[in-house]
Amino acid sequence: MKRIIILGDGMSDYPVARLGGKTPLQVARHPHMDRLAREGRCGLFKTIEDDMPTGSEAANLSVLGYNPREVLQGRGVLEAASMGVDIGPDDMGMRCNLICLFNDGRIKNHSAGHITSAESDEMLRTLQKEIGQPGLNFYTGVSYRHLFVGTGLDARLECAPPHDHPNELADGLMIRPKVPEAKATADLLNDLTRRSWEILKDHPVNQRRRAAGKDPGNSIWLWSPGMRPKMWTFRERFGVTGAVISAVDLIRGIGVYAGLEIIKVPGATGLHDTNYEGKADAVLDALQRVDFVYVHVEAPDEAGHEGNLDLKIKTIEDLDARLVGRILAGLEKTEAVVAVLPDHPTPVEQRIHVRDAVPFVIRDPRRQADGVQCYDEVSCAAGGFGTVHGDEFIRAVFR
């Protein structure tokens, strides 16, 4: 039996007054996800427990059945695995965003206006030359998502994810030590951030972006520190082979540690203009050689962080029509378990991640449907699974 998990990052939401008190999922057209709901069993999944950070790292680990309390060591080290950056036993990895600050020092956005990878690389090279040194290194990732690795640093730090603090003053969100021994590390990292302001302010890339009416990447933002994690692979856990399809290094990095093949699709951007069809075709191709595919789409999450309601609805509709529908059409002669869910909600009116349980559907041709007729937060709450926690979702997919 083949298995597919289709994850629309940040796809679920809260009721919106402009939508008559409905959520984007409730008003978006998604006939293919509704079909899965009618043919499958639904429920809610508490992917982020109340004592865990509201990040995609914890949520996606939960979706794949890992306990974030046991394996989560920070986002940066997961992304490093995707980037091919070796994290040694004395190294600490951190996510390094390029962000945009208003002139008064408030965070305008977490993505520097969705800066391109080529522009970012030019600035990261400057930062490495100006403030990097042996043992303190910057690595270019995708768009605004980059990596910082430091040797001999203390990971016991309290950091503020920039996507959770729009319009707040950067100076009030600086890294804090959780223990006295980590103060020197916090001071060092905060100094790097403040030094980046002067270096990036008039960088040639930002001059060009301002001239084009785009947001500059005028600050780095270091967060989610951790050391190298230890994780069981899917072959060890379930006796299966698998693959991950995503545009973002976080999901690919989780896939590396999970022992899954990493498939990169041309034109997969992590935004609303991503190559949905290419991802769908890659899923169908991968199923010819592996047992399981995890396909991740970042676009709804980014629309939520932008507070763009119309775009979020469009990304849900595109995911359904161009990805889910294309996959289902290609599976007509293949028996497969197909699951759809978000990793967490990203409400458009809050523009941040929240911990609320997310709606999911699992269509298993061996199991009877539960009577749910459409896929959304309210409908799935009445599904046969009820509310699940921990590894209950992944075990339902693989039973």
* pLDDT tens, the chain, 399 aa long: 999 999 999 999 999 999 999 999 999 999 999 999 999 999 999 999 999 989 899 999 999 999 999 998 888 999 999 999 989 989 999 999 999 999 999 999 999 999 999 999 999 999 999 999 899 999 999 999 999 999 999 999 999 999 999 999 999 999 999 999 999 999 999 999 999 999 999 999 999 999 999 999 999 999 999 998 889 999 999 999 999 999 999 999 999 999 999 999 999 999 999 999 999 999 999 999 999 999 999 999 999 999 999 999 999 999 999 999 999 999 988 899 999 999 999 999 999 999 999 999 999 999 999 999 999 999 999 999 999 999 999 999 999
Q: Which residues of 356-379 are buried (b: 16+ CB within 10 A; e: fewer)?
A: bbbbbbbbbeeeebbebebbbbeb
Contact between residue 300 and residue 316 where contact means Cβ atoms under 8 Å apart: yes
Pick from 226, 258, 277: which residue ends a domain? 226
Angle value at C-alpha 266, between 329 and 25, nearest 5 degrees: 50
DSSP 332: T
Q: Which two tokens stand for residue 330?
A: 């290609």
Q: ∠ at Cα 224 (218, 226), nearest 5°?
A: 130
In whole angstroms, give the CA distance from residue 130 to residue 112.
20
Task: Please check whether residues 321 and 261 belong to one and the same domain.
Answer: yes
Q: Which residues contact 36 (CB under 8 A, 6 or more apart)?
A: 324, 328, 338, 340, 361, 363, 375
Residues 247 and 388 grouped into a single domain: yes
pTM: 0.86
Report the candidate in 359, 392, 331, 368 with the shortest Cα–Cα distance to residue 44: 359
Q: How many domains does the chain have?
A: 2
DSSP label at residue 260: P
- Local structure of residue 105 (DSSP, 8 states): S
- Whether residues 303 and 218 share a domain: the answer is no
pLDDT at 225: 95
- Element housing 327 (H / E): helix 325-330
Name which of 286, 197, 176 is nearest 242 in CA terms: 286
67 & 193 share domain: no
Do 212 and 356 lie in one domain? The reply is: no
Do residues 124 and 203 share a domain?
yes
Separation between Cα atoms, residue 327 and residue 323, nearest integer Å? 6
Residues 151, 95 share a domain: yes
pLDDT of residue 228: 87
- Predicted local confidence at residue 174, as pLDDT: 98
Q: In this structure, are 301 and 154 located in the same domain? A: no
User: Which CATH number characterizes residue 366's domain?
Assistant: 3.40.720.10
pLDDT at 99: 98
Q: What's the length of the chain?
A: 399
pLDDT for the residue numbered 310:
98
Note down the domain range covering 341. 2-72+231-398
100 and 119 both lie in a single domain: yes
Which among 179, 202, 226 is the end of a domain? 226
- Same-domain status, 151 and 174: yes
Are 181 and 49 in the same domain? no
Supply the DSSP symbol for 163: G
Q: Last residue of a domain, which of 226, 246, 272?
A: 226
C-alpha to C-alpha distance for 82 and 324, rounded to whole angstroms: 25
Q: How many CA atoms lie within 13 A of 134 on its CB side?
A: 0
Verify that 349 and 215 share a domain, yes or no: no
pLDDT on residue 77: 92
E strand map for 251-304: 261-263, 292-297
Angle between helices 309-318 and 299-306 (to 10 degrees): 170
